[in-house]
Amino acid sequence: MRSSWKLTGSSAVGSVAGFAQGLHPVANVFKPLASPAQSIYNVSMLMLAICAAIFFVVGGLLLFTIIRFRQHETPDNREPAQVYGSNRIEIAWTVIPILIVTVLSMATARAVVEVRNKRMPPNALQVTVIGHQWWWEFRYPTLGIITANELHVPVSTTAMPTHTVLQLESVDVAHSFWVPQLAGKVDVIPGVTNTMWFDPRESGTFLGNCAEYCGTQHANMLIRVIVEPAAEFERWAAAQKLGAAPDASPETARMMFLSLNCINCHTVNGTLAQGTFGPNLTHLMSRTTLGSGVIANTRENLRAWIKDPQAVKPGNLMPNLQLNSRELDDVVNYLSSLK
């Protein structure tokens, strides 16, 4: 886990002073912002309260005993009263923990059932999440959109409750999808389709992680969920549905990109590039980060990434194509035009 779990953030896009331009905001786990996260939070608070009570009772008795029965300055050499066993006390310290554990398991079971069995309205937004080493693919089957690493969903309001349902799949190893402020962890397993849902009640960017060790770059398999008002989400979806910007870049740059091996792994809708091994690049410039959240999506970073992906994210599966600086310029020019 990265350093993002300090419990000091004031909101999802916490106040991280400038580190990588706020690429790793602090997620405040004490501020749940969707129903599943709220259920988990409620159980955690109950657990914390009961455990704190136990701590203070046990600690208090211990402290009392230490003080009350400490050695006195004028020891009388008599042995204290020797007490062996007490049925009443033994029954009490057997029954009380059983009651406590029962209450905790019932509360947990209730929260699990509440989240798992929640009926989704038919108009819920459907997204297929596909785990890759080491990035996330997001497909919106009903909208015909394929994107990566940044999941856009509409906010849920009391006037218009909006649910997002995720189907989680993996093409390689086991991953786990976790955005703490929205919902609990759900494993992403090859050959299995798991589901989860959330109804985010605030707009903003929510950071998540892969929560199951999946290889070298497990820690850099970051998730960004961008929650936006319905109108903004519609605008985003409409733009994503379009093909690649046709003539925004010089023809030479486009031809250069399409002549390179990039197209074996990446798709740019409406072009020869139809590879599916790496992220879909049709609207690359609409994303804020590169390499699954590792660096900000700027022109310089994009160039550095293509020049030597292994220097930026060692072990990742994008090869170094050894491009010369002209090829590099052309590819960066072309990709920068994919708004």
Q: Give the integer Cα–Cα distance in Å for 169 and 201.
A: 26
Smallest separation (angstroms) from ligand CUA to the CB of 293: 12
**Closest CB 275 distance from ligand CUA, rounded Å:** 21
Selected binder of ligand CUA within 139, 163, 175, 287 (CB under 6 A): 175
Q: Note whether 34 binds ligand CUA by CB under 6 A.
A: no
- Binding part of the chain for ligand CUA, among 46-54, 61-69, 198-206, 213-221 by CB under 6 A, reads 213-221
Please report how the helices 251-259 and 325-336 are oriented relative to each other, as an axis angle in degrees rounded to 10: 110
CB of 191 to ligand CUA, least distance (A): 16
Stretch that binds ligand CUA, among 23-31, 211-219, 223-231, 322-330 (CB under 6 A): 211-219
- Candidates 168, 210, 225, 284: give the one binding ligand CUA (CB under 6 A): 210
Residue 188 near residue 168, CB atoms below 8 Å: yes
Considering the rule CB under 6 A, would residue 218 count as an interface residue with ligand CUA? yes
Looking at the Cβ atoms of 28 and 220, the one nearer to ligand CUA is: 220
- Between β-strands 150-154 and 194-198, what pairing exists: parallel, antiparallel or unpaired? unpaired
Q: Which of 179, 214, 222, 268 binds ligand CUA (CB under 6 A)?
A: 214
Count the alpha carbons within 13 Å of 267 in the hemisphere toward its beta carbon.
14
In the complex with ligand CUA, the residue whose CB is nearer, 136 or 198, is 136
Site track for ligand CUA across 83-122, x = CB under 6 A: ----------------------------------------
Among 15, 213, 229, 246, binds ligand CUA (CB under 6 A): 213
Q: Which of 137, 169, 212, 330 touches ligand CUA by CB under 6 A?
A: 212
Q: Report the C-alpha gap between 280 and 326 in whole angstroms.
A: 24
- In the sheet that holds 135-140, the strands lie side by side as 145-148, 135-140, 125-132, 164-170, 194-198
Axis crossing angle, helix 325-336 with helix 299-307, rounded to the nearest 10: 130
| 326 C-beta neighbours (distance < 10 Å), count | 10
- Residue 316 CB, shortest distance to ligand CUA, in Å, is 12
Q: Are 140 and 127 in contact (CB under 8 A)?
A: yes
Considering all CA atoms of the chain, what is the largest pairwise distance in Å, rounded to the nearest integer? 101
Determine which residue in the list 221, 227, 262, 323 makes contact with ligand CUA, applying CB under 6 A.
221
Minimum Å gap between C-beta 168 and ligand CUA is 11
Contacts of ligand CUA in 123-152 (CB under 6 A): 131, 134
Asked if 224 interacts with ligand CUA (CB under 6 A), we say no
Least distance in angstroms from the C-beta of 31 to ligand CUA: 24
The binding site for ligand CUA (CB under 6 A) comprises 131, 134, 175, 210, 212-214, 218, 221
